[in-house]
């Protein structure tokens, strides 16, 4: 597997990755939503992903984010407000709505989101990356996931 060429990233980047999950989800739903929404950041922000890992035997493992992913939780209303703040700041984000638990494929997932205006999306999770202060403002009212 060829190595990715990545730009240097400081030990303490000036950006932040945050995942916000609705606090009324079942455990399996939280994990599923978290996995889905961070995949959006990884694919749209290649500079966030580091080099592949190697073990002492030479086995290669897939690269991961080069900075921590902070996971927060909040109410339905808190996620809706965070979504609005992220959009108003021009931050790119990935979303997961309650409707997606009932779909079985990517085409139906995208159609389910497209059918609903942004202000009325039934958000159960989102992921956002951006400058630390902007992401902190987006996460206002949430708490660290236990």
Q: Is residue 3 part of a domain?
A: no
- Determine the Cα–Cα distance for residues 23 and 21; give it in Å rounded to an integer: 6
Which residues 6+ apart lie within 8 Å of 38 measured at CB?
17, 19, 65, 69, 94, 127
- For position 64, which CATH number holds? 3.40.1490.10
Residue 29 pLDDT: 96
What would the pLDDT profile of 5-47 be if each residue is shown by its tens digit?
455 555 567 899 999 999 999 999 999 999 999 999 988 888 8
Overall number of domains in the chain: 1
Distance from the Cα of residue 106 to its chain's centroid: 17
Which residues 6+ apart lie within 8 Å of 139 measured at CB?
18, 20, 72, 82
Mean pLDDT of 68-90: 96
Q: Is residue 34 part of a domain?
A: yes
Q: Is residue 24 part of a domain?
A: yes
Q: Is residue 6 part of a domain?
A: no
Q: Is residue 97 part of a domain?
A: yes
- Determine the Cα–Cα distance for residues 103 and 86; give it in Å rounded to an integer: 26
- Determine the Cα–Cα distance for residues 103 and 6; give it in Å rounded to an integer: 35
pTM of the model: 0.86
- Find the domain containing 120 and state its range: 15-50+57-144
């Amino acid at each position: 597997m060829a190595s990715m060429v990545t730009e240097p990233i400081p030990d303490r980047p000036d950006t932040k990755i945050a995942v916000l999950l609705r606090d009324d989800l079942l455990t399996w739903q939280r994990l599923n939503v978290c996995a889905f929404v961070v995949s959006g950041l990884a694919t749209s922000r290649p500079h966030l992903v580091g080099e592949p890992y190697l073990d002492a035997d030479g086995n290669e493992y897939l690269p991961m984010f080069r900075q921590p992913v902070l996971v927060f939780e909040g109410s339905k209303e808190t996620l809706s407000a965070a979504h609005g703040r992220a959009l108003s700041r021009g931050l790119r984000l990935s979303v997961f709505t309650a409707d997606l638990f009932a779909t079985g494929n990517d085409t139906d997932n995208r159609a389910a989101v497209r059918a609903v205006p942004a202000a009325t999306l039934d958000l159960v999770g989102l992921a956002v990356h951006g400058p630390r202060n902007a992401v902190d403002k987006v996460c206002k009212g949430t708490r660290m996931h236990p």
